[in-house]
Structure 1
Amino acid sequence: MIIDRPRPSRTLDYHLVLPAPGDPIGAGILVEEFTRQEDFCATGLQSASWTPGGGWWSSAALSLGLRADPAVLARVVPTGPAEAADAYRRLGGGELPSEVVLRTYFRDHQPIAVAAPLRLGPSRPPDGFSEQRVYRVLFAKDLRAEQVAALRRRWRTTGGGTAGSVADGRHDSGGARFSWHLRRVGHTLAWGLDVTALVRIGGADAVPAILADLTNLLRQHGLVTVTTERFA
C-alpha cells in the first residue's frame, strides 16, 4: 500500500558509506537531494559528504559518478535520517545537523539533462482521463531475490510480471490511476521502474507524491536513485 498524500516529502536522501582500506572516500555519511521539475523529473543533483576528521564537503559530480563505479557503489547503503543520525553520532560527529543546515553544505550542483517528453503510443488518453504520463525512475545497485519477493507481496503482483518486469503494482490516488513495472535495464546492475499515470482533471498533484513514495520504497530495499525521466 502506498501512502496517499498531496505532495512529495522534501526529506533529503541519506546514505551510509562503509569503510574500505585505501579508499579516499572512507567511511562516513552522504546526503543528497535531486532538483526536480514540477512533474518530478530530475534536473540535477546536489550533495554533501561527511567523514570523521574531514568535516563536510560538497561534490555533486563525485556523487553522481559513484553510481557508475561498482566498487564504490557496493559501499553505499541507502538509509533514513534516524539511521544516518545514529551513524553520525557513533563516528564522532555529535548531533546530525538539521536538513536546513545540511542544505547549506550543498556548494555545487550537477545538472542532469532533461529532454522534452516523447509522445509514445496513442496521443489521446483513455476515456475518463485528461492526460497520460509515462515515467522511468532509474536505480543503481542490485536486488536480492528476497527483496524482489517482498516487493511483489507489497504490490500484490500476480503471475510472473508484465513485459519482462519482476514486480508490478497499481494504485488509484487523488484523481489519478497509476500502474508500474520494475525490470532490469542496461548491461550492468541497474533497475528501472516504469510508471504510467492516467490523470483526471485536477489530479496532477498526486503524480509527484506517488513517484516519491515509490522511489523511497525502492531506496528502502537498497537501491540508489540515479534519475527520473519522463517519456510521455
Structure 2
Amino acid sequence: MTTPHAGTAIRVAFDPQPSLDYYLIHGSAGEPEVILVEEFVLGEDHSAVRLDSAGWTSTDRRWRGSAAVSRGIRVDANLRSRVVATSRPDVEIIFRQLGGGELPDEETLRGYVHDGEPLSTSAPLRLGSGRAAAGFREKRVYRILFANDLGADGLAILQAGWRMTRPENVADPQGRVVGTAHLHVGDDSFAWDLRRIGIGAAWCVDLTANLVSRGDAIGPLLRELTTTMRRQGLIPVTIERFS
C-alpha cells in the first residue's frame, strides 16, 4: 500500500506540458515488475477524452502501449492492490535497478503510446441552474473520479493540507462529503468537495469554478488536485464536466 505523503498545499502551476503519471506494479514476491506511465488527454473544456499509457516489464525490457493494464488497475481490486503511484525520480532509480538503464525523457515515453483508452465525451450534464455566483460570468462543475480506498491517515493529510471545512457527520461511514476547500486565483473563485462514493469503493473530488476570466487556472488546478490524491494511493479514473 502507498504510504500517505504530507505537503498537500495547493499550487497552480501553468506548466506548458504537464508531467506524466508513474506507477509501479509489484509481483507476487513484492518486487516491482512493471513500470506503467500514463497521461490523461483533455478536451478544450478540460474534461478527459482519452487515457494514454505505456508499460515496461522486467521480463522483456521493452516499452509498449498498455491500455489493457491501465483499464485493469481501475476495475480489478486484486491487481490494484499491487500498484503504487510514484514519481519520476523514484522510477528512474527502479528502472536502473531493473536493468533498463536511463529512463527515457517524457517526450520519448509519449511516443511509446499506441493504444490510448477512449473515454466518454458526452456533453456536460447540467446540474441545477448552472448559474454563476454574483459577480462572476460563468460557473463550471467538474468531477475527478478515483478508484481505491482512502485510509484515515491519507484523509487527515488531505483535510489538513487543503484546510478543509469538515461536515458534522465526517465520522459517519455513510457520510459522503468529508471536507470542502476554497481557493482564489486572480478574480476566479474555486471550491472543491472531497466525496466518498460507497464504502471503500471509490472517491471523487468535485470542483466548482466561478469564473470572471476565461478559466486558464482550471486545467492546472484539476491536475494538482489529481496529483495530490494520487500521493495518497488513489488512482484517477476520469475527469468529467457536469456543468
Give distance in 2, aligned partners of 1:105 and 1:185. 34
Matched, 1:59 2:66: yes
Task: Tell me the alpha carbon deviations over residues 149-204 of structure 1, each in whole angstroms, 9 at most, x when there is no partner.
Answer: 0111111123436873122211011332111111121466211111101111x241
Could you tell me which amino acid in structure 1 is paired with residue 211 of structure 2?
V
Per the TM alignment, residue 214 of structure 1 is displaced from its structure 2 partner at its CA by: 0.7
For normalisation by structure 2, the TM-score amounts to 0.87
Could you tell me which amino acid in structure 2 is paired with residue 32 of structure 1?
E
Q: Who is 2:50 aligned against?
A: 44
Q: Who is 1:222 aligned against?
A: 233
For normalisation by structure 1, the TM-score amounts to 0.91
Corresponding residue SS for 1:166: strand
* Bigger shift: residues 124-133 or 1-10: 1-10
Q: Who is 1:105 aligned against?
A: 112
Retained in 2: the 8 A contact 1:8–1:212?
Answer: no
Per the TM alignment, residue 65 of structure 1 is displaced from its structure 2 partner at its CA by: 2.9
Retained in 2: the 8 A contact 1:138–1:190?
Answer: yes
Q: Who is 1:80 aligned against?
A: 87
Give distance in 1, aligned partners of 2:58 and 2:39. 22
Give distance in 1, aligned partners of 2:187 and 2:176. 28
Corresponding residue SS for 2:177: coil
Corresponding residue SS for 2:128: coil
Q: Who is 1:171 aligned against?
A: 183
Could you say if the C-alpha distance between residues 153 and 113 of structure 1 is closer, same or farther in structure 2, counting changes exceeding 3 Å? same
1:158-197 correspondence runs (5 A): 158-160=165-167, 164-186=176-198, 189-197=201-209
Q: Who is 1:35 aligned against?
A: 41
Task: Tell me the alpha carbon deviations over residues 71-94 of structure 1, each in whole angstroms, 9 at most, x when there is no partner.
Answer: 101111111111111111111111
CA RMSD of aligned residues (A): 2.0
Q: Who is 2:220 aligned against?
A: 209
Could you tell me which amino acid in structure 1 is paired with residue 179 of structure 2?
A
Could you say if the C-alpha distance between residues 158 and 125 of structure 1 is closer, same or farther in structure 2, counting changes exceeding 3 Å? closer
Give the total of aligned pairs.
Answer: 228
Give distance in 2, aligned partners of 1:8 and 1:142. 32
Q: Who is 1:144 aligned against?
A: 151
Per the TM alignment, residue 115 of structure 1 is displaced from its structure 2 partner at its CA by: 1.4
Could you tell me which amino acid in structure 1 is paired with residue 164 of structure 2?
T
Could you say if the C-alpha distance between residues 8 and 79 of structure 1 is closer, same or farther in structure 2, counting changes exceeding 3 Å? farther
